[in-house]
Each structure stands twice: as C-alpha cells, then as structure tokens.
Amino acid sequence: MSELQAVDANISTAAPADDLEAPPKSLWRQLEPTVLGVGSIVALLALWEALPYLVTFAPGTKLFFTTPSQIAGTLWTMFATGTIWAPLSVSASGFALGLGLAIVVGLPLGVLIGRSPTLNAMLDPFITAFNATPRLVFLPLVLLWFGLGLWSKVVIVFIGALFPLLINTYEGVRNSDKLLINVVRSFGAKEWDIARLVVVPNAMPYIVAGLRLAIGRAVLGVVVAEFFGSEDGLGVMMVQAAGQYKVAVVFAGLIVFAGLSLVMTGLVQLLEQRLTRWRPQHAAEY
C-alpha cells in the first residue's frame, strides 16, 4: 500500500470533527457566572443596608435615604394592598402598545429598505435625521397633539423603540449572504421567498439586538412621558412620592420598571434561542 493510500485510509477511519465533544465543564465553571452575579448583588445590598449603622447622617439627610429592607416592605405593601396595580396597568398598556406598534412598523420597513435601494435612498435622510434627534424634543408636540392621556405615551414609546429596531433590521438585511440569495434566486424563488427563507433568518441576530435596544428605549419612553406629561401611571406615582419625600416608594417604582425590562429581555432571549436553533453551534469556551 502506498503512503497516499495509507493516509486516505487513516482519514476515512478517523472520527469526524463534529463527533469530538468538548470536555465537560466543572461544576464551578458552570455556576461561576451565577454565583459571581448573585454574590455581587447580595454584597451591594448588605453594604447599603448597613450604611446607616456605619455612617452618621444629618437629620435632614435621613429624609432622602432609605434601605433595601424598607424598599422591600414598601413594595410588598403596595402589591398586597393593590395600590400599585392601577398605575402599573396604565404604564404597561402604554409600553405594550408603543412597543407593539414599533415592531409592526419597524420590522417590515427595515426589511423593505434593506432590500430596495430606491426606498433606502428615499427614506434614509429622514431616518437618520429623526434617529439623531433627542426624543425629548418631540414631547411638547406629542402632548399638544395627543393630550395627556394614553396615546401621547404610546407615541413617545413608539418613537423611542422604532429606530433601534428599524436600523438593526436594515443592517441585518444588508449583511445577508449574497451568494445564498443568488442560489435561491437561481431556483426561481420570488422576492418574498428570498426574504422569508434567507434574508430574515440571516438577519435574526441583528433583529434580536434591535429588540433588546427597543425594550430599553420603550421603558425610557414610558418613564419620560409619565414624568412630564401624564395624569396616571407608575412614573406619575414616583413623581408624587418624590414630592412627598417617600424615597422608598420611588425606589419601588424603579424596581418595577427594572423588572419589566428584565422580563421582556428574557422573553427576547428565549425567542432568539428558539428561532436560531438551526445555526451551527460554536466550540465550547475554554
């Protein structure tokens, strides 16, 4: 047998690279991120709780200070008595409607602009100008046109959440695999089939990143709208509590807004894992 035949025989009998599994991680390596994250939070809360015993505050300063235990008690009381449900439902309604409209408009428009040079040339100046403009600039006009009710809040949330989602979707579409698009087109696929089978799946990481940014901007939009131009909502409750020096209530509202962002971001991550299962897995981290 020649040397070349021997090499071919060795290659054919060798195990494929895909069958080689990475060595299992130790228990500490698996739990390390969770332990470090939870540990840092617990350490910060413990230091915060002990701060009044370590530092002597002036009588006037105590009025503006609270502790995690007081915040937890206030939050529990608000949920138990039901005083938080009405403002929370108002804020959640504005958040959901504004973010939903941003998704309905931003995703298809991002795909269309990414696939159409004509639409891109027509709309790019407007998108760039509006995206570069601070969202607070629109607040007086929105309040003037839509009043102090729910719809002014929805519009502010929509404006804040639209552009991150739109721009990320556009970038994802523009970075789709051109060779794969040409292959699918050569088999007679229409533009709708190309977008559905190639463009949108390839752009999914960009879309998910845009959704994460949009969620943060949407929560910010709710807070801004309720701080400066609303009659009801969680932000209004926080402003009223701040005016009465109820610092624990202000922190309770802040925690609720942060929890809303975390829950929505977690749902987006679950959606990303479900929609990107077809992608090849990367090698394990060392």
CATH number at residue 154: 1.10.3720.10
Q: Which of 93-97, 273-277, 278-282 has the highest mean pLDDT?
A: 93-97
- Nearest CA to 151 among 159, 282, 128? 159
User: Is there a contact between 186 and 263 (Cβ–Cβ < 8 Å)?
Assistant: no
- Residue 28 confidence (pLDDT): 67
Q: How many domains does the chain have?
A: 1
Confidence of residue 128 (pLDDT cuts 50, 70, 90): confident
Q: Is residue 206 part of a domain?
A: yes
- Give the span between the Cα atoms of 239 and 101, in whole angstroms: 27
Q: With 50 as the cut, is the pLDDT of residue 9 above it? A: no
Residue 235: predicted pLDDT: 82
Q: What's the pLDDT band for 280 if we cut at 50, 70, 90?
A: low
- Exposed/middle/buried for 248, CB within 10 Å: 0-12, 13-18, 19+? buried
Q: Which domain holds residue 223?
A: 69-275
Highest-confidence segment of 91-95, 114-118, 144-148: 91-95
* Residue 251 pLDDT greater than 70, yes or no: yes
The answer to whether residue 64 is domain-embedded is no
pTM of the model: 0.74
Q: Which residues contact 27 (CB under 8 A, 6 or more apart)?
A: none
Instruction: Examine residue 203 and state whether it is found in any structural domain, yes or no.
Output: yes
Residue 27 lies in a domain: no
What backbone torsions phi and psi does residue 66 show, to the nearest 5 degrees?
A: -145, 175
**Among candidate residues 249, 200, 196, the one with its CA nearest the CA of residue 77:** 249
Please check whether residue 6 lies inside any domain of the structure.
no
Q: Is the pLDDT of residue 217 over 80?
A: yes
32 domain-assigned: no
Task: With respect to residue 88, please indicate whether it lies within any of the assigned structural domains.
Answer: yes
pLDDT confidence bin for 4, thresholds 50/70/90:
very low
Residue 45 lies in a domain: no
